[in-house]
Amino acid sequence: MIVEGGHSFQGYSIGILMFDNKRFPMPPGDVGNATTYPFPVLLRQIPELEDNPYPPLTCEDGSYTPEVQVCINAAQELERAGVRAIAMCCGFFSLIQEVIAKSVSIPVMTSPLMMIPIIRQMLRPDQSIAVVTASAKLLSTEFFSAVNVDMSDRITLVGLDNSVAFNSICMCATGTTLETDELRDDILNGISRARVQDLNIGAVLLECTSFPPYAADVNKETGLPVFDFISCIEWMHRAVVPMQYNGYI
């Protein structure tokens, strides 16, 4: 058997682009914790990018803003490093899904919001999706429409805008200590309130890529199916590294 190299390091199926200069805790289940995954991932920081791009994405001369361009450069560098697909570290990167996808030749998933059309098809027409986000105030229509999702169509936002635990480490905070039980309770309480307001919630989508560590707690508490970015990344991994089945009949 002949195998081909071409890269200084090998064996990474998924490359994950992270913010620069972030030091908050990332427990197993977080997109930025390498032990989250049952396969090797290549984590790389986007140089000097500490927040996701916001509209507009282009300058007056038609070129991409510096924030968008550094994301493009980082994705292209991951592709050159030999990864087979790319994911990003925050659901708000949905805004540049099309931009990144057309800048590389490998699959790209920037945000859990991309899962919404599939989830909708799994549910009854009268059921809605609870989208649990870091900030309901900031997660505006643009981030949904960028991935072809109608925000007004059976979406109930659950924001952690007032979570002391979460906002001590994220959303421009610089904390390096997290009380995971408090964050878990804030997520569960937010979903509980949403279910009182919307009796038709049929599934939960954890939009924030720091929330998958609590997916099992959400499922246990609500009995609802819970979707998150880690399961989405694993799905993408299976597409670029198909499983070899061994068995018998």
| Model pLDDT for residues 118-151, shown as the tens digit of each residue | 999 999 999 999 999 999 999 999 999 999 999 9
Q: What is the pLDDT of residue 175?
A: 67
DSSP per-residue string spanning 169-224:
TSTT-------HHHHHHHHHHHHHHHHHH-TTEEEEEE-STT-GGGHHHHHHHH--
- Find where tokens 């300058």 sit: 59
Domain annotation for the chain: domains and CATH numbers: 14-111+233-240 (3.40.50.1860), 112-228 (3.40.50.1860)
Q: Which tokens belong to 240?
A: 């670029």
pLDDT digits (tens, 9 = 90+) for 153-173: 999 999 999 989 888 877 666
> Which residue numbers in the chain have pLDDT < 50?
none
pLDDT for the residue 158: 96
